[in-house]
Amino acid sequence: MTRFTLLSALCAVALYAAPITFEPLSITSDPLGEDDLSAPYASDIYTQADLERANAANLYDFLSRYSALSVMPAYGNPFSQKLDMHGFGIDSGYQNIVITLDGRRLSNIDMTAPLLAAISPQMIECIEIIKGAGIVAGGDGATAGAIHIRTKRAAANEVRLAGGPYDTLQGGFNVGGEGEGYRYGVTLDSSSFGGTRTIDDKGERDVQGITNAAFNLALNPTKALQLGLLAQLSRADVHYGGPMSLGEYRRDPAQAGSGYGYGAAPTHQRFKDDHLGVDMRYDLGADWALTARYGVEKKESEYVTYQSVSTYDYRSYSAALVYEDDTLGASFGGDGFEGLRESRGNETAKNNASLFAQARYRFDRHSLRAGYRLEQVDYRFENAAQKLDDTHTLWGAELGYNYRIDAPSSLFISLARAYQSPDVDRFFTADFATGTVAFNGFIDPMSVTTATLGYQYIDPSVRFKASLYYSSLEDEIYYYADPAWIASRNTNIDRSHKMGGDLFGGWIPQEWLRLSLSYQYVRAIIDEEVQNGERFSDKELPGVSNHSVKASIDLSLLEALTLGVAQIYRSESYSADDFANTQKQKQEAYRSTDLSLQYAGPNYRLFARINNLFNQKNALWIHDDALYPVNFTTTASAGVAIQF
């Protein structure tokens, strides 16, 4: 039986289902009490039900298939993937999105991408994606927007086990409970994968494994006081291959490849991450509340291949006074982040400290919002030979207006001035001739002004959102890759701009059928920039696809059987290093068709998924004949989750 015949047979089964509907969703990360219909900014919200229906292997998998984000493994590393939104480029777009977990920033002070693989989908309550806004609450780096992830404080009791080809194995459990004045949840999740690609001449494969554990506790010692505790740890061990030429990729993307300028040796990395955080909310009465949060995080990244170990010590804190009623909302406070990295005898620190204020006023069908943030960023670098420091004072602001046309629809317009300070790796440049790292000097922060116009319509059978945006940038941060490998360095694009639109449509024509379509169009243009005699003005920013489409169909088959089909498409773009737009090879279009099947019994779930059903080849292009194959073959898994 072919795949098409199997799909047709499943769709021909008699259809039954409990009704599913759309409704406005509360944006829990917004202290001023907005939902996605009344908010004066663009947002996408995914609930626990969305995550369960997707049966995603990990958080990257879910975001790749369903969100407006572009998602790609970083140079072949599946546990450290790169994200892009609104055209900041697949290479460094993730640094333009603030990501929080229960209010804690997941930022790194260097170019390491946030380890979202450490967040098990089973522990997530909701994911809120804010587009073109978020600088007042999110701070440094919210130039494209923000992603806020909230975890469950009382997870259901469940045990899970799944497996599949390529030695795929996943397992885990949740244990939770609640009583008078308390709620708790414990999550353990572990997965391993035997690899789809050979990474050296000995036949070793890109083996990978990760284990995550989390403990949540919420206490209500009094009616007015809420206390929270989150403890989380992750252990990852991953092997991944180097780049290959286009010819090698065409012949067999599963081969090791010859390295092409980077060395053919595969990379072996071990990673540890431990976090402990506490939070508090105290209701002062008369619609006032005080919130506070503090967290400590310890990380260790060991590149076994290069005998390199980096340790990280992070501290984060925040406090705010919040007022909220139906007419007026306000939030005043401050937050901070202190980061220290020790590596190869060097100490590098980046510390952020901020004050912010924002307010919202509603009358009749109108809602107005304004906010301001002032942030100081301090850098310090020290080794046996030198001690360097630098300081920047940055500011951001937001204005927004929402007009409620009628009960299910609204219009909004927003204006945001945001900023991004450089990560500490931007101050250094690798000398490929000597194998050393040199200090290339402190570089400037980036500033971005974004205007967004949007329309939203939500009723029980339709969720529709559309927005247009234009962003003007000064000093966009990037890595100039000199074709001769002599003058390569981190620096700034003098001026650039981005413009585009986001479209999302969800439709429930029948109670057993749910359809969704997400489309993004973006143009990212370099207006003014010259490096080492190369003129990049009027060129397209590399690594930005002009068109991205994600579509899904969910069919309720029989009474408890659900079939999901998801299609991803991203158009071609210039390779990540091709700022001159002159290289012979382009980043090819990305395509993947995924299937999921779930049967929900009275106290169990059976699930199966097929990723890249039609075995389509995909890769990340860095420059000519240097590409990393990703999601280039069909993979599958099936499993069971039992509630107790």
Distances (CA, A) of 343 to 260, 308, 382: 28, 8, 11
Residue 172 has pLDDT above 50, yes or no: yes
Residue of 27, 56, 232, 230 lying closest to 146 (CA atoms): 27
Average pLDDT estimate for 426-434 = 64
Q: Note the pTM of the prediction, 2 decimals.
A: 0.93
* Contact by Cβ (8 Å): 67, 568: no
Edge-to-edge strand list for the sheet holding 42-47: 42-47, 124-131, 145-151, 97-101, 104-105
pLDDT band at residue 7 under the 50/70/90 scheme:
very low
- pLDDT tens across 242-256, in order? 999 999 999 999 999
- pLDDT tens across 522-531, in order? 999 999 999 9
Residue 16 has pLDDT above 60, yes or no: no
Residue 422 has pLDDT above 70, yes or no: yes
Q: What local confidence, expressed as pLDDT, does residue 437 receive?
A: 63
Upper half-sphere CA count for residue 209 (Cβ side, 13 Å): 10
* Residues paired with residue 596 on neighbouring β-strands, in sequence order: 564, 609
d(Cα 235, Cα 442) in Å, to the nearest integer? 33
Distance of CA 534 to the CA centre of its chain: 33
Average pLDDT estimate for 252-270 = 79
Residue 320 has pLDDT above 80, yes or no: yes
Instruction: Return the structure tokens found at 340.
Output: 């220290």
d(Cα 423, Cα 379) in Å, to the nearest integer? 9
Q: Where are the beta strands (DSSP E) in 511-589?
A: 513-528, 530-531, 534-535, 539-540, 547-557, 561-570, 573-574, 586-587
Residue of 440, 460, 433, 321 lying closest to 390 (CA atoms): 440
Q: What local confidence, expressed as pLDDT, does residue 260 receive?
A: 57
Domain boundaries, the chain: 3-19+30-143+152-643
- By residue count, the chain amounts to 644
d(Cα 353, Cα 336) in Å, to the nearest integer? 4
d(Cα 44, Cα 465) in Å, to the nearest integer? 9
Tell me whether residue 222 is exposed, middle or buried, using C-beta atoms within 10 angstroms of its C-beta: 0 to 12, 13 to 18, 19 or more: exposed
What percent of the chain lies above the pLDDT cut of 70? Answer: 94
- pLDDT tens across 442-497, in order? 789 999 999 999 999 999 999 999 999 999 999 999 999 888 777 888 899 999 99
Q: 3-state class of 143 per DSSP?
A: coil
* Residues paired with residue 497 on neighbouring β-strands, in sequence order: 472, 525
Average pLDDT estimate for 216-235 = 94
- Tally Cβ neighbours within 10 Å of residue 449: 16
3-19+30-143+152-643 falls under which CATH superfamily?
TonB-dependent receptor, beta-barrel domain (2.40.170.20)
